[in-house]
Amino acid sequence: MESISQEKWRKAVEQDEKAKILDVRTADDYEKGHIPNAILINVENPQGFMNKINQLDKQLPYYVYCNSGSRGEQACMVMDFNGFPRIYNLEGGFENWKGKIEI
């Protein structure tokens, strides 16, 4: 697990066609705006979060974000513990995001 800057995170996502973006906020937060192509998996619902990550391909790179970075870091630690080798947390989270947003 690694926390990386917005610039490094964005470049990595753009350059890796296998990259998957995970939004670990609530559904309400997601509906107010999210990074394009983000998959919603709410880390605040532990059982649902575990069920959904267990369906993911562990060999793909996952770029994770929450609102400020702390829930994203928590999600990354859980994923790391569960055998995901390439997970990256967005430092500062969505509230500091300067890129495109979908609503």
Q: What is the pLDDT of residue 5?
A: 94
Specify the CATH number for the domain of residue 63: 3.40.250.10
For residue 97, give every residue at least 6 positions away whose Cβ sits within 8 Å of its Cβ, in sequence order, or none. Answer: 6, 35, 65, 90
* Residue 84 domain-assigned (yes or no): yes
CB 36 within 8 A of CB 100: yes
Q: What is the pLDDT of residue 69?
A: 87
Q: What is the pLDDT of residue 33?
A: 96
CA–CA separation, 15 and 92 (whole Å): 21
Number of domains in the chain: 1
Domain around 71: 2-96
Each of the 103 residues of the chain gets a pLDDT tens digit; together they read 899 999 999 999 999 999 999 999 999 999 999 999 999 999 999 999 999 999 999 999 999 999 998 999 999 999 999 999 999 999 999 998 998 999 9
* Residue 103 domain-assigned (yes or no): no
* Residue 42 domain-assigned (yes or no): yes
> Is the pTM for the entire model greater than 0.85?
yes
* Residue 55 domain-assigned (yes or no): yes
CA–CA separation, 73 and 93 (whole Å): 10
DSSP letter, residue 22: E
Q: What is the pLDDT of residue 67?
A: 96
